[in-house]
């Protein structure tokens, strides 16, 4: 019997709730979230109506980049619990009907990983070529001009080996040499380890940085764009989005295909990636889907930008299935990025409605369902190395990583019995889960209703999407599947706007902040309002 494609491709149109475990729920009172804390809150996640959870890194790590500097790919850091705790999370999530995906970090390791310890010890050891090493130029300078994402040069001198090693991120995150087949074998063994423990898929970190130009050619200068870091001055032609990555992705996909129903969503797509490379990533023999950075980098969601973002995805990925994300652990929260220091009333609901009606899969970051704004973290409490290095030019990442507010009472919002690792913003207490659960007009209840609507209509899960003409500041599109047609209208402006539904059908509002009673053909949307209407043929 053939496998049901609706089961094997469950990820297509799924909503994945991202958990940043360090800040989700603390079970043992040390101020740091953990796996048992997550286990205790799984019912909350299931009740939202999402399809899966993505658990950000929980592996052993010195935490220089808060878990993305991995020292052991097949373990659990004691601050988060044990492998038994992880197994309990997977088992309980599955019992609740939730899939579980986890981060896989193949680009780099911690500099404390045993592989790197051995590699830097000399040029003849078993792991000598597992990282990217290169000799200095004749004047002692780094091998080329590549810059790291975070701070300065992508090369650090190591006196023990007498060479530079490459790191696209922190100097404590040396890049693995994925051009080496033995390194590929090791990473596939890691993937197999977690698949055997029952995970349903992977969020594959930093795919754009998996491989590098073997000739180590200099990147050319970039023209235009904001320049707050050295890397912003370069077009990343030779240390990002390299065609050499594709062969490894084919091996990863072949492994995943041996486990029915598993999938991989890639983090990829830098500003210099060409259409040919990005389209190749989503070939049927490589990644299943990838999430777009377009909204994470946008200044505001104007109708023109939303249309352009969808069109750009289709152009770059040649029809590959998108995953949309407005917020995550690496970007300031969307309500603040787009709504400013005092987001307008209803703005968070509008954004969640837009996110959940776009064609594609969705990643919903913890707290996004509450409408949390970027937390205010004073400089002396900053932990994120990027935020510290670039302060005060950017909002940084710490303000999106502060503790989840479960309770509106108590100094720590029900997150922990102790002072959390990052301070909980007092404003977030007013948006705590307990308060919003009791408020039928809250962002949380609206988001739950939108998720229920998405489950109800296949058109919102996998249906076609067509933009329709609409005057500024309206965004209008239809989602269609079979006999079902939904018209989605968003007022992305600060004054009421009339929306024309046309005269060819009867419409019934199924969600939103407008009524058809006064004007069945041209309802008025309030500022930052929306409606979703179902077509009823006459």
Active site residues: 205, 267
Reduced to 3 states (helix: H, G, I; strand: E, B; else coil), residue 450 is helix
The DSSP annotation for 230-257 comes to: GGGGB--SSSSS-TTHHHHHHHHHHHHT
Rounded to 10 deg, the angle between the 245-256 and 181-196 helix axes is 30
CA atoms of 87 and 458, how far apart (whole Å): 32
Residues near 174 by beta carbon (within 8 Å), at least 6 away in sequence: 108, 109, 111, 116, 119, 131, 132, 165, 166, 167
Quick check: 60 and 13 in contact, CB under 8 A? Answer: no
Q: What is the dihedral of CA 193, 199, 200, 205, to 10 degrees?
A: -70
Q: Which two tokens stand for residue 390?
A: 């670039």
Q: Give me the count of residues in the chain.
A: 538
CB burial of residue 40 (10 Å; 0-12, 13-18, 19+): middle
CA atoms of 390 and 151, how far apart (whole Å): 9
Find how far residue 414's CA is from the centre of its chain.
25
Ramachandran region of residue 423, left (φ > 0), alpha (ψ -120 to 50) or beta?
A: beta
CA atoms of 354 and 350, how far apart (whole Å): 6
- Of the CA atoms within 13 Å of residue 243, those in its CB half-sphere come to 4
CA atoms of 147 and 154, how far apart (whole Å): 5
CA atoms of 287 and 210, how far apart (whole Å): 14
Quick check: 130 and 113 in contact, CB under 8 A? Answer: no
CB burial of residue 329 (10 Å; 0-12, 13-18, 19+): buried
């Amino acid at each position: 019997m053939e496998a049901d494609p609706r089961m094997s491709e469950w990820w297509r149109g799924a909503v994945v709730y991202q958990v940043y475990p360090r800040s989700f729920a603390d079970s043992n009172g040390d101020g740091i979230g953990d796996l048992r804390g997550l286990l205790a809150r799984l019912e909350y996640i299931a009740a939202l109506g999402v399809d899966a959870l993505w658990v950000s890194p929980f592996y052993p790590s010195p935490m220089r980049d808060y878990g993305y500097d991995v020292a052991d790919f097949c373990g659990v850091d004691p601050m988060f619990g044990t492998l038994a705790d992880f197994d309990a999370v997977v088992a309980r999530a599955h019992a609740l009907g939730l899939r579980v995906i986890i981060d896989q970090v193949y680009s780099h390791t911690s500099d404390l990983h045993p592989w790197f310890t051995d590699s830097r010890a000399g040029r003849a050891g078993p792991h000598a070529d597992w990282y990217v090493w290169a000799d200095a130029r004749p004047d002692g300078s780094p091998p080329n001009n590549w810059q790291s994402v975070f701070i300065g040069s992508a090369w650090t001198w190591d006196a023990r080996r007498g060479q530079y090693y490459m790191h696209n991120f922190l100097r404590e995150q040396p890049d693995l040499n994925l051009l080496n087949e033995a390194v590929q074998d090791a990473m596939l063994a890691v993937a197999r380890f977690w698949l055997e423990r029952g995970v349903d898929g992977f969020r594959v970190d930093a795919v754009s940085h998996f491989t590098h130009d073997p000739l180590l050619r200099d990147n050319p200068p970039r023209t235009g764009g904001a320049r707050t870091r050295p890397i912003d001055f370069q077009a990343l032609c030779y240390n990002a989005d390299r065609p050499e990555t594709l062969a490894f992705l084919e091996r990863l996909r072949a492994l995943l295909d041996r486990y029915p129903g598993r999938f991989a969503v890639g983090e990829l797509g830098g500003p210099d990636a060409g259409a040919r490379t990005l389209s190749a990533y989503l070939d049927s023999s490589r990644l299943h889907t990838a999430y777009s950075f377009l909204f994470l980098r946008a200044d505001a969601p104007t109708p023109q930008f939303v249309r352009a973002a969808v069109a750009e995805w289709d152009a770059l990925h040649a029809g590959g299935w998108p995953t949309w994300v407005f917020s995550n652990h690496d970007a300031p929260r969307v309500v603040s990025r787009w709504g400013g220091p005092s987001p307008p009333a209803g703005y968070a609901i509008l954004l969640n409605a837009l996110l959940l009606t776009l064609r594609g899969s969705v990643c919903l970051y913890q707290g996004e369902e509450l409408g949390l704004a970027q937390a205010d973290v004073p400089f002396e409490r900053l932990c994120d190395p990027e935020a510290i290095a670039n302060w005060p030019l950017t909002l940084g990442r710490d303000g999106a990583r502060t503790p989840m507010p479960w309770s509106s009472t108590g100094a720590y919002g029900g997150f922990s019995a102790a002072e959390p690792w990052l301070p909980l913003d007092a404003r977030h207490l007013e948006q705590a889960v307990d308060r919003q659960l009791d408020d039928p007009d809250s962002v949380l209840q609206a988001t739950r209703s939108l998720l229920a609507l998405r489950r109800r209509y296949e058109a919102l899960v996998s249906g076609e999407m067509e933009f329709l003409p609409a005057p500024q500041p309206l965004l209008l599109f239809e989602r269609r599947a079979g006999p079902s047609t939904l018209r989605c209208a968003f007022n992305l402006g600060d004054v009421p706007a009339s929306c024309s539904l046309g005269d060819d059908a009867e419409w019934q509002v199924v969600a939103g902040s407008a009524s058809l009673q006064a004007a069945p053909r041209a309802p008025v949307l309030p500022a930052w309002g929306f409606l979703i209407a179902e077509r009823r043929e006459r």
